[in-house]
Amino acid sequence: GAHILCDNLVRIYKTGGVEVVALQGLDLLIDRGELVAIVGPSGSGKSTLLNVLSGLDLPTAGVARVAGMDLLAMSAKDRLRYRRSIVGFTWQQTARNLLPYLTARENVLLPVRLAGRREHRGHADELLELLGVGACAGRTPMEMSGGQQQRVAIAVALANRPEVVLADEPTGELDSETSEEVFGALRAANRELGVTVIVVTHDPLVATQVDRTVGIRDGRTSSETLRRTSTEGE
C-alpha cells in the first residue's frame, strides 16, 4: 500500500483574525521506496506540507498517514517516536541542520543518543562514507564546503534509520556540480537504504532526475503529476 498518503489535507493559519489557507484539499500518494520531487511557486504550500509530514505541524483537516501512522490522530508519545525514528528531515536553512561545535560524526550520533539508542561510531562513519563525506567525519561544519554540510545533514536525517526522509531545498544555494553531489547523496539513501525520499526543490537538475515530480499550486497537487520517462525532455 501507500507509504505516504494525504487525502483532502487542509491547513489554515489564523493570525490576527486573518485566515491563510496554506493547504486546501491536497491529495498525495507515494509508494515505499519512491524518490519524489515536489515543485511549485513560492507560497504554494510546500513547506507547510513538509512540516505536516515531518510531524512538526498539525493540519486543520483531512488525512495524513505515513508508514501506517495517522499524523492527525497520534498520541504525543507516538508523535515523538515518529519524529525520532520514522521520519528524517533536512532544513532549507543550512545553519539549522548541524550544530556548529560538533564534528560531522558527533552531529550524526546526537539524534541516536537523543533517541536513547546505543551510539555506534562505526555506523555513523559508514553513513558518512555512503554519502561521500567520509573524509568529513572529524570536521566541524565550518571546516566543510556547503555541499559537504548538506550531505552531512542528510546523514543526520538518516541517523536513526528512518523510513522516510524529507529534504527542503537541499541544493538551493549550490552550484551545479555541488548540487549533483548532494542529490547523489539523497539518491544513495533511496537506492542503498531503501528510504522513501521527498525533496522540495526549484532545481531543474533535481526535478528531472527523480522517479516522479509532483506539482503543487495554491495548496493543492496539480493534476499533471509527471512520471519521468526516458523520452521526456527538459
Q: List residues near ligand ADP by CB under 6 A.
A: 13, 15, 20, 22, 40, 42-48
Residue 44: CB minimum distance to ligand ADP, A: 4
Closer to ligand ADP at the Cβ: 33 or 172?
172
Rounded-to-integer distance, Cα 177 and Cα 2, Å: 34
Closer to ligand ADP at the Cβ: 13 or 101?
13
Rounded-to-integer distance, Cα 213 and Cα 37, Å: 5
∠ CA 75-19-9, nearest 5°, is 45
Residue 24: CB minimum distance to ligand ADP, A: 10
Distance, CA of 144 to chain centre: 21
C-alpha distances in angstroms, 163 versus 16, 102, 191, 202, 206?
Answer: 38, 26, 12, 24, 21
| CB 22, CB 13: distance < 8 Å | yes
Closer to ligand ADP at the Cβ: 56 or 80?
56
| CB 150, CB 174: distance < 8 Å | yes
Residue 195: CB minimum distance to ligand ADP, A: 22
Q: Which residues contact 48 (CB under 8 A, 6 or more apart)?
A: 11, 22, 23, 57, 219
Residue 57: CB minimum distance to ligand ADP, A: 8
Residue 220: CB minimum distance to ligand ADP, A: 12
| CB 79, CB 55: distance < 8 Å | yes
Chain position carrying cell 531545498: 169
Residue 150: CB minimum distance to ligand ADP, A: 16
